[in-house]
């Protein structure tokens, strides 16, 4: 009779943990881009006449060209993925956790649009994550760190996972497009796992002119 009560208690604890993670994500999901007044506001060649000089308006002002910008983005949120473990026994797998990322890159505009999140022409960064709940191994899953490269809405990260409760570790790679991701992990004690899922993040960004 003790096992059903233990299973029920474990299920309630997992549900409570999910509720706390969702509440924390909603509380931190505010987004904003801060525009810094560094460098020139635009490109203007003062040694040449305006390209679109009109005889009707010889003193018209030529708008400077946008030089593009630099941006630093700190993002934080919740991810959920489902998939399976390769090979026998082919278990169904899922994972729910949190991730924090810091990235730097360049943008087409010196004042990039932040909706739904700032896009970079290219950039690089670091992801730190924690799988709080998963199906395989212990309930509390691995910590991970990934180095990441970005271009437009695409990102690719590769790094290492470490699960102290399961005493296992291994490589991990993640390919994402916007909030969607495909992730492969190989842990020495649990084999290869493939997940597809969604990552919802809030962010704070700092942008300035090139």
Q: Give the residue from 188, 196, 186, 190 showing the smallest Cα distance to 159.
A: 186
CA distance 130 to 48: 56
Least-confidence region, from 16-25, 82-91, 95-104: 16-25
Helix/strand/coil for 167: coil
Q: Residue 2's pLDDT band (boundaries 50, 70, 90)?
A: very low
For residue 65, pLDDT beyond 90: no
| Residue 148 main-chain phi, psi, to 5 deg | -135, 145
Structure tokens at 149: 């490269």
How does the average pLDDT of the chain come out, rounded? 79
104, pLDDT greater than 60: yes
**Contact yes or no for 202/30 (Cβ under 8 A):** yes
pLDDT for res 210? 80
Model pTM score: 0.73
DSSP letter (8 states) at residue 63 = P
Beta strand extents in the chain (DSSP E only): 32-35, 69-85, 92-107, 120-134, 143-152, 154-163, 168-177, 180-187, 191-209
The two three-digit tokens of residue 27, written as one number:
């509380």
Range of weakest confidence among 22-31, 117-126, 157-166: 22-31
CB 192 within 8 A of CB 185: yes
Compute the average pLDDT of residues 176-197: 90
User: Residue 180's pLDDT is what?
Assistant: 95
Mean of the pLDDT values across residues 105-111?
85
- Which pLDDT band holds residue 126 (cuts at 50, 70, 90)? very high
Close Cβ partners of 21 (under 8 Å, ≥ 6 residues apart): 78, 96, 97, 98, 132
């Amino acid at each position: 009779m003790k096992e059903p009560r233990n299973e029920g208690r474990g299920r309630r604890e997992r549900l409570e943990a999910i509720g706390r993670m969702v509440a924390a994500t909603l509380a931190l999901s505010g987004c904003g881009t801060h525009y810094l007044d560094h460098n020139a506001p635009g490109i203007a060649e003062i040694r040449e006449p305006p390209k679109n000089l009109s005889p009707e308006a010889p003193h018209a002002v030529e708008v400077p060209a946008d030089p593009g910008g630099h941006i630093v983005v700190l993002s934080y949120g919740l991810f959920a993925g489902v998939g399976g473990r390769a090979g026998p026994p082919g278990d169904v797998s899922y994972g729910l956790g949190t991730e924090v990322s810091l990235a730097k890159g360049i943008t087409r505009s010196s004042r990039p649009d932040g909706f739904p999140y700032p896009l970079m022409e290219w950039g690089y960064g670091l992801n730190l994550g924690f799988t709080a709940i998963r199906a395989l191994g212990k309930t509390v899953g691995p910590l991970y760190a990934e180095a990441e490269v970005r271009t437009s809405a695409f990102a690719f990260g590769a790094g290492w996972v470490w699960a102290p409760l399961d005493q296992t570790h291994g490589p991990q790679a993640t390919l994402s497009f916007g909030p969607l991701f495909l992730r492969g992990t190989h842990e020495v004690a649990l084999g290869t796992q493939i997940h597809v899922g969604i990552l919802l993040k809030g962010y704070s960004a700092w942008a300035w002119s090139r």
